[in-house]
Amino acid sequence: MISGGRLVTFFLPRRRAMGVLIAAGLSVSLLTGCNDGDEQVPEESPSVSAETSSAGLRGGTFNARLPSGASVRITLPATPPPDEDVDKLRKDAGVERALYAKISIDNRNGRQPVSVSRLVLTAEDGSIYRLDALPKVAPEWTSERGDNGEWTNAGGDRVSEEKARDIDRRVDDTVAKYTGDVPVGGRGDEILVGDLSRLPATFASMELIPSMGDSEERAVRPSPDSRNEPAAPRPASPADPAEPEAPEEDPPPGDPGDETAEEEPPADGGGSESTTDPVPEEPTDAPAPPQEPVPSEPGTQPTTAPEAGASVPPVAPSVPAQAVGEQQPVQP
């Protein structure tokens, strides 16, 4: 038994002891096979990019390195057509649609002559789009002669014998021009053709199958060029729930940014107090203007201010007012 990294031995019968030792050996094997929970992931080929295994690829330029060491640059779709004579031949043959891919092969660092057999695209819905090498597609553009002696092109249109033979001759020339591998140390361009009118808006993966002579090699997954236009995001479905709008928070009263905040009136009902220090009044030598006497109640002194420099007479004691009808006592 293993406890705290130490092997603890118990004295057991021989048969049971043998079973315990076997179980302990299995436990040690399991412990030594772990490496902190990290799973060993096999390294991918340099030509395989993680970006190509995710959905959202679009047409553009792609790069790949073949198993033989050659580097490949793919332009998909190739517009305008990489060879105008080939496209004119396609139209004269009555083939309504074709989508081209240009394959530029640089075999200066390669170890064997190489060419390209086909390109396979897998759309996000599982649909397969295939483009084959031109020497394989072009023979399908030849003309045919019917039992009645009339000639028709590959599209089924009736053509003259002269026109039909001209198409067939050009087909042979095209096949001869694009047949063969790019030699070691050389460079060359090849054309792939698909019976397609256009590419899907996005596709999930791309596989390029190289060939050497008549044998095909292991497929590689090209990496999209960094200058390619990124895939557009998926448009929102009507079934998708709309995100609720966040409620607007009312600013606190008195916030300068709130135009509706009311100003609180001052506590004393007057104007707002000045925040500046009061200015001291300057003394003046001019005498104060005379003030009119204020009528006083009986028994009180007038409130007229005395003149400047005059003495203030003493205040006489106040005499309570005599009630109406009360007779004043006579002094002896």
8 Å CB contact between 299 and 277? no
- Residue 330 token pair: 């006579």
Highest mean pLDDT among 162-166, 199-203, 300-304, 321-325: 162-166
What pLDDT score was predicted for residue 214? 83
Q: How far apart are the first and last CA of the chain?
A: 138
For residue range 44-68, what is the model confidence (pLDDT) as tens digits? 333 333 333 445 789 999 999 999 9
Report the candidate in 221, 237, 270 with the shortest Cα–Cα distance to residue 46: 221
What pLDDT score was predicted for residue 225? 87
Backbone angles phi, psi at 22, to 5 degrees: -65, -45
The residues pairing with 106 across neighbouring beta strands, listed in sequence order, are 71, 187
Question: 3-state DSSP call for residue 80?
Answer: coil
What pLDDT score was predicted for residue 87? 97
For residue range 143-178, what is the model confidence (pLDDT) as tens digits? 999 999 999 999 999 999 999 999 999 999 999 999
For residue range 177-224, what is the model confidence (pLDDT) as tens digits? 999 999 999 999 999 999 999 988 899 999 999 998 888 999 999 999
* Site of tokens 């249109």: 157
* Average pLDDT score over residue span 104-132: 95
* Average pLDDT score over residue span 67-83: 95
Sequence-distant (≥ 6) Cβ neighbours of residue 167 within 8 angstroms: 89, 92, 93, 141, 142, 143, 153, 159
- Residue 100 token pair: 């081209």
The answer to whether residue 5 scores a pLDDT higher than 60 is no
- What single DSSP character describes residue 185? T
Q: Which of residues 93 and 331 earns the better pLDDT score?
A: 93
- Residue 10 token pair: 């118990």
* Site of tokens 């009645």: 148
45-74 core/surface letters (b: 16 or more CB in 10 A; e: else): eebbbeebeeebbbbebbbbbbbbebbbbb
